[in-house]
Each structure stands twice: as C-alpha cells, then as structure tokens.
C-alpha cells in the first residue's frame, strides 16, 4: 500500500492526486466502520492527539474529536479563550509545553494564515491544519470532494461553482486546490468586492451573475458571509446580498436541471440559502457532516501510520 507523500496536513496545496485518492479509499472503510453497531476501532490506542483551537469552532472541533475517539486515540482539548495564551505565551511555547506531555499529533485551528506551516517547522509532532485564517481548511475541502464523489460518482469533469464570500474563505481556497487537482472545473460567484483580485491565476473563472453560474454548474457550494472578518462594508445590505446571491427553491426550480447544493456550515438561513433549499433532497449538507468524520479518521490514521516509535 502506498502512503501519504506528506507528514503533516497543512493544506491541499501540499498534496498530490494520489494522496487524495488514498485518503478517499481509506475513508470508505471508515465510513463502513462508523455505521456499525460499535463504531470504534483500536488502531490508534497508543497515540495522543491535542486539539488546539485558537478560534471558535463547533462542527470541525466535534468532528475531529469524534474521529480521534473512533480510532481509540487519547484526546486532549485546548481552547485559547481559557488558556495562558491570554497571559502572553507564544504559540511555540504553548505547543512545546503540550508536546512535552508526550503528544504525537496536533490538530490546530488558528486565526493567522500559515500558523500550521510555521508550527510544523518548529515542533516535533504531526500537524493537521483545521483552518488557518483565510488561508486553508484542507479537511473541509477533502470532505466536500468526498461528498461529491459519493453523490455523483466522481469529481473529475464535474462543474462546481463556489458562491459567496470568496475573499475571507479558507474553504473556498482549499476547495479550489482540491477540485482542480481532481480535474473538476471551478467557477466562483459573488459580489466583486468579495472576490480576490487575480483569482483567475488559480485556474478558476469569475461569474457575477448567480443564475448564469447555476445554469452552468453540477454542484453549487454555498458559503457563509463572514461578517466577523469584515472590517469594512463589502456590500450595501444583507437584504441586497440575498437578492443577488441567495439561493431559493424558486430559483432552483427554474433551472433546466437538478443541481447538488453544498454548504460547509454554519448556515445563515435566509441569507445565502433558504430553509426549503437547505432541507431539500438536493442538499447534501448533512452528508457532508457525516463524511467529515470518516475523512478525518482517514487523514489521522494515515498520518499516524507515518509516526515511527
């Protein structure tokens, strides 16, 4: 069996196509495991994993914790809000203190882009990036592609539009890398103010008309407007955003085909997507969440298999 080409999962941009195939094949086995009466395997019983969350998270954190526990790893959790980071400790000091308690792997979310890469150069542990600022969120992109593969058979050749706040979204960037690597076509759609300059250099097209984008695509990945990352106003009002870039049932029914709707969560119902769309059969939002556990189990399992004693 082949193994991953990397010792850390810092971003999709460090992976190759074979890595993604291997992760998906392994995730297939774990998906079977998590649907058994007893959803646990003992593979990682001698591995300790620290989940370091320097930024808020519900889904990702629970998903990682569950994946680790399903693999029988020992898990410690840390959130910046209740820690010595507030007392002025540096990132490397914080992590080295944790590692001196014999931790093998670190899952980290951090508000600064590149925090995972920085850490991987300074500490002796396997690092998994669970989101670094507006940079990358690799496990989210992997589970998104895995969900597309599950619903439509394969990712290659599919047309995917990513709608919304591309500028502040690590999910968008990781998804672009992952989808392009697997041979999908990608467009981004949103207000011009929320689309980064030179994004075409990544091999994606920009479309500012939502209807045209939806008519073109097989899959629409709807992103949340990240108000917490906005220091200035990027569009006049939420109401106007919804009118221009929100997806509702009427709009979907008026298309000449049925497209798949994805959302990485958390959803702002009534803003980027209406409730009747989010809860419809076209949406695979809850499949994404379930697949997230299987994909994260695969990533952790494959990285842990590279740790030598």
Partner 1 sequence: MSQKLLLSAKEIDIILHRLACQLIENHTHFKDTVLIGVQPRGTFLADRIRQILLNDYHLDTVDLGYLDITFYRDDFRRGEKPLAANSTDIDFVVEDKRVVFIDDVLYTGRSIRAALTAVQSFGRPSEIELLTLIDRRFSRHLPIQPNYRGRQVDAINQEKVKVHWKENEGEDAVYLVGK
**Contacting residues toward partner 1, per CB under 8 A:** 1-3, 26, 28-29, 32-33, 36-44, 71, 301-302, 304-309
Smallest separation (angstroms) from partner 1 to the CB of 72: 9
**133 φ, ψ to 5°?**
55, -135
Contact at 8 Å (CB) between 74 and 43? no
Query: Is 267 in a helix, a strand, or coil?
Result: coil
Smallest separation (angstroms) from partner 1 to the CB of 71: 8
**What gap in Å lies between CA 106 and CA 119, rounded to an integer?**
10
Smallest separation (angstroms) from partner 1 to the CB of 142: 17
Nearer to partner 1, 71 or 273 (CB): 71
Nearer to partner 1, 71 or 278 (CB): 71
Smallest separation (angstroms) from partner 1 to the CB of 106: 18
Binding annotation: 59-60, 87, 109, 137, 140, 170, 224, 265-266
Binding annotation for L-aspartate: 87, 170, 224
Nearer to partner 1, 36 or 197 (CB): 36
**What gap in Å lies between CA 217 and CA 136, rounded to an integer?**
23
Nearer to partner 1, 35 or 56 (CB): 35
Query: Is 73 in a helix, a strand, or coil?
Result: coil
Smallest separation (angstroms) from partner 1 to the CB of 286: 24
Residue 128, C-beta contacts closer than 8 angstroms, at least 6 positions apart: 8, 9, 64, 105, 106, 107, 108, 116, 139, 299, 300, 303
Nearer to partner 1, 167 or 303 (CB): 303
Nearer to partner 1, 38 or 232 (CB): 38
Smallest separation (angstroms) from partner 1 to the CB of 67: 13
Query: Is 60 in a helix, a strand, or coil?
Result: helix
Rg of the chain over all Cα atoms, to the nearest angstrom: 19
CA nearest to 191, candidates 216, 158, 168: 168
Distance of CA 220 to CAs 158, 164, 260, Å?
Answer: 11, 10, 6
3-state secondary structure 140-171: HHHHHHHHHHHHHCCCCCCEEEEECCCCCCHH
Nearer to partner 1, 31 or 137 (CB): 31
Smallest separation (angstroms) from partner 1 to the CB of 154: 19
Binding annotation for carbamoyl phosphate: 59-60, 109, 137, 140, 265-266
**What gap in Å lies between CA 266 and CA 146, rounded to an integer?**
19
């Amino acid at each position: 069996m082949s193994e991953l080409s990397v010792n850390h999962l810092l971003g999709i941009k460090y992976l190759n196509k074979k890595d993604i195939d291997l992760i998906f094949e392994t995730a297939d086995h774990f998906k079977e495991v998590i649907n058994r009466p007893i959803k646990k395997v003992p593979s990682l019983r001698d591995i300790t994993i620290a989940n370091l969350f320097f930024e808020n998270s519900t889904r990702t954190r629970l998903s990682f914790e569950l994946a680790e526990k399903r693999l029988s790893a020992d898990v410690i959790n840390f959130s910046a809000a209740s820690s010595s980071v507030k007392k002025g400790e540096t990132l490397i000091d914080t992590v080295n203190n944790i590692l001196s308690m014999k931790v093998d792997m670190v899952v980290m979310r951090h508000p600064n882009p590149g925090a995972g890469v920085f850490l991987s150069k300074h500490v002796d542990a396997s690092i998994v990036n669970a989101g670094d600022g507006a940079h990358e969120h690799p496990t989210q992109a992997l589970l998104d592609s895995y969900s597309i593969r599950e619903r439509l058979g394969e990712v290659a050749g599919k047309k995917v539009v990513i709608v919304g706040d591309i500028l502040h979204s690590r999910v968008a960037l990781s998804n672009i890398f992952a989808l392009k690597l697997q041979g999908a076509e990608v467009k981004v759609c949103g207000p011009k103010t929320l689309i980064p300059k030179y994004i075409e250099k990544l091999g994606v097209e920009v479309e500012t008309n939502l209807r045209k984008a939806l008519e073109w695509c097989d899959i629409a990945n709807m992103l949340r407007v990240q108000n917490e990352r906005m220091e200035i106003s990027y569009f006049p009002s939420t109401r106007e955003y919804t009118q221009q870039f929100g997806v509702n049932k009427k709009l979907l029914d008026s298309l000449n085909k049925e497209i798949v709707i994805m959302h990485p969560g958390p959803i702002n119902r009534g803003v980027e997507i209406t409730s009747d769309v989010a809860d419809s059969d076209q949406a695979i939002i809850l499949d994404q969440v379930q697949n997230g556990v299987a994909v994260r189990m695969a990533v952790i399992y494959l990285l842990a298999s590279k740790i030598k004693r």
